[in-house]
């Protein structure tokens, strides 16, 4: 794959690291490439970041054929930039694409595209503590006709955004509301994929949570509305009587790369991690009898986010005195240490940008 590069004539000023937040600023360039069933992928290009033309009948507008990924590039203290487990994102995007009958992108091309855009926009990976360059690969059906069928034409794009903290709370514990009306996904559906439709379907519960002063909703399973699945933009873990419990990957939960990494880190630290069904009743009784010691979410954007309050059926429960717990902090420090290159990467998870 030879990527054609057209540089911008008007590079933008870089925002002050203190105002970054999440996903509001974009680098100077973006990657785009098209797919046609009879040609495969063609026209891989990096072009100036900006708006682009679309056909009004494009599949993505009507039937939501879209999948995406979320990953980060981190600026190390020696100035070099590194990615965290990028191959896992490549694999997951292709798994999502297969579920939606979209074409897959060869893993080596996915990695090459990331390297090309990050290197060209090198100065956009911020260096202030807690900041990174968020990468958003996305892939959508782009047939210019209204029939409902597996797409013949698609587009893959990559945009990049310097970011700080995902939650306005920063590192402070977040408030999470257990959603007991809407469901996010069921087994056999698209819950295990990172497709745009999952997020569209989650917005109403997210809004309800925010209107009640919570950061995000916690989903229960779609059939019995009994078992905990995940939070809006992160997987979830609980520490009960010294043991770590995280919902098993049921087919309706996103297989988080941060989740997988945290499980390995916790096991290395000597914790027992059990991936199993955990019901909301079990969680509430652990809250009531004081055996729930800590709760946190894991995700690329959210990193390791301490959960300080859980709302359920009109009641508010405080977790761990509303403060960040010891294991949560330890996990955050280890994971971010590896990601930003201040701790040794014994798992070989990071990959330098060439």
Site map for ligand PLP, 11-50, x if CB under 6 A?
----------------------------------------
- Of the ranges 80-88, 171-179, 297-305, 310-318, which one interacts with ligand COI (CB under 6 A)? 297-305
- Give, to the nearest 10 degrees, the angle between helix 86-99 and helix 107-120: 120
Which of ligand COI, ligand PLP, none does 311 bind, CB closer than 5 to 8 A by kind? none
How many residues touch ligand COI (CB under 6 A)? Answer: 6
Select from ligand PLP, ligand COI, none the partner in contact with residue 287, using the beta carbon and a kind-dependent cut-off of 5 to 8 Å.
none
Residue whose structure tokens are 């945009």? 159
Kindly state the smallest distance separating residue 70's Cβ from ligand PLP, in Å: 5
Q: Per-residue string for binding with ligand PLP, 52-91, x by CB under 6 A?
A: ------------------x---------------------
Cα(347)–Cα(334) distance, integer angstroms: 12
* Residue window 262-301: x/- pattern of binding to ligand PLP, with contact defined by CB under 6 A: ------------------------------------xxx-
Which residue, 62 or 277, is less far from ligand PLP as judged by CB? 277
Looking at 125, 190, 235, 300, which residue binds ligand COI (CB under 6 A)? 300
The partner in contact with residue 308, picked from ligand COI, ligand PLP, none with C-beta cut-offs of 5 to 8 angstroms by kind, is: none
Distance CA 75, CA 341 (A): 8
In angstroms, the CA 68 to CA 264 distance is 25
- State the minimum distance, in angstroms, from the CB of residue 192 to ligand COI: 14
Give me the least distance between CB of 23 and ligand PLP, in Å please.
13
Parallel, antiparallel, or unpaired for β 132-141 and 81-84? unpaired
Task: Report 193-212 residues binding ligand COI (CB under 6 A).
Answer: 199
C-beta neighbour count of 152 within 10 angstroms: 16
Q: Which two tokens stand for residue 49?
A: 């970041």
Radius of gyration of the chain (CA): 21
# residues contacting ligand PLP (CB under 6 A):
13
Using CB under 6 A as the binding rule, the residues of this chain from 187 to 246 that contact ligand PLP are: 230, 233-235
Tell me whether residue 65 or residue 205 sits nearer to ligand PLP (CB atom): 205
| Residue placing its CB nearer to ligand COI in the complex, 59 or 198 | 198
Region 138-197 residues binding ligand PLP, contact defined as CB under 6 A: none
Residue number, 49 or 199, with CB nearest to ligand COI: 199
Do 312 and 214 form a contact (C-beta atoms < 8 A)? Answer: no
The entry of ligand COI, ligand PLP, none that residue 317 binds, CB within 5 to 8 Å by partner kind: none
> Which x/- pattern over 248-267 shows residues binding ligand PLP (rule: CB under 6 A)?
------x-xxxx--------
Q: Residues in the site for ligand PLP, rule: CB under 6 A?
A: 70, 230, 233-235, 254, 256-259, 298-300
Q: Residues in the site for ligand COI, rule: CB under 6 A?
A: 70, 199, 233, 299-301
């Amino acid at each position: 794959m030879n990527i054609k590069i057209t540089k911008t004539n008007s590079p933008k000023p870089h925002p002050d690291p203190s105002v970054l937040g999440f996903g509001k600023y974009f680098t100077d360039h973006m990657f785009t490439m098209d797919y046609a069933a009879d040609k495969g992928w063609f026209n891989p290009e990096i072009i100036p970041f900006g708006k682009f033309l679309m056909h009004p009948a494009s599949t993505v507008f009507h039937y939501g054929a879209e999948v995406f990924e979320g990953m980060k590039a981190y600026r190390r203290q020696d100035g070099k930039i590194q990615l965290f487990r990028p191959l896992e994102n490549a694999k997951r995007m292709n798994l999502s694409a297969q579920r939606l009958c979209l074409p897959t992108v060869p893993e080596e091309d996915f990695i090459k595209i990331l390297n090309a855009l990050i290197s060209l926009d090198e100065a956009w990976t911020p260096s202030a503590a807690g900041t990174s360059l968020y990468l958003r690969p996305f892939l959508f059906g782009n047939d210019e006709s209204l029939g409902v069928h597996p797409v013949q034409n698609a587009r893959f794009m990559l945009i990049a955004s310097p970011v700080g903290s995902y939650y306005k709370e920063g590192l402070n514990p977040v408030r999470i509301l257990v959603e007991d009306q809407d469901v996010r996904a069921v087994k056999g559906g698209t819950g295990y994929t990172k497709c745009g439709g999952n997020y569209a379907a989650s917005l109403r519960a997210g809004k309800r949570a925010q209107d009640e002063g919570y950061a995000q909703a916690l989903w229960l399973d779609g059939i019995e509305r009994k078992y905990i699945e995940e939070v809006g933009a992160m997987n979830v873990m609980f520490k009960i009587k010294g043991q770590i419990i995280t919902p098993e990957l049921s087919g309706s939960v996103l297989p988080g790369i941060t989740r997988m990494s945290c499980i390995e880190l916790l096991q290395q630290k000597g914790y027992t991690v059990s991936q199993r069904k955990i019901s909301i009743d079990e969680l509430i009784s652990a809250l009531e009898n004081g055996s729930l010691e800590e709760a946190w979410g894991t995700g690329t954007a959210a990193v390791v986010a301490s959960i300080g309050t859980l709302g359920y059926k009109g009641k508010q429960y405080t977790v761990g005195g509303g403060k960040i717990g010891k294991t949560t902090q330890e996990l955050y420090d280890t994971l971010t240490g590896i990601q930003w290159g201040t701790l040794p990467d014994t798992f070989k998870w990071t990959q330098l940008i060439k």
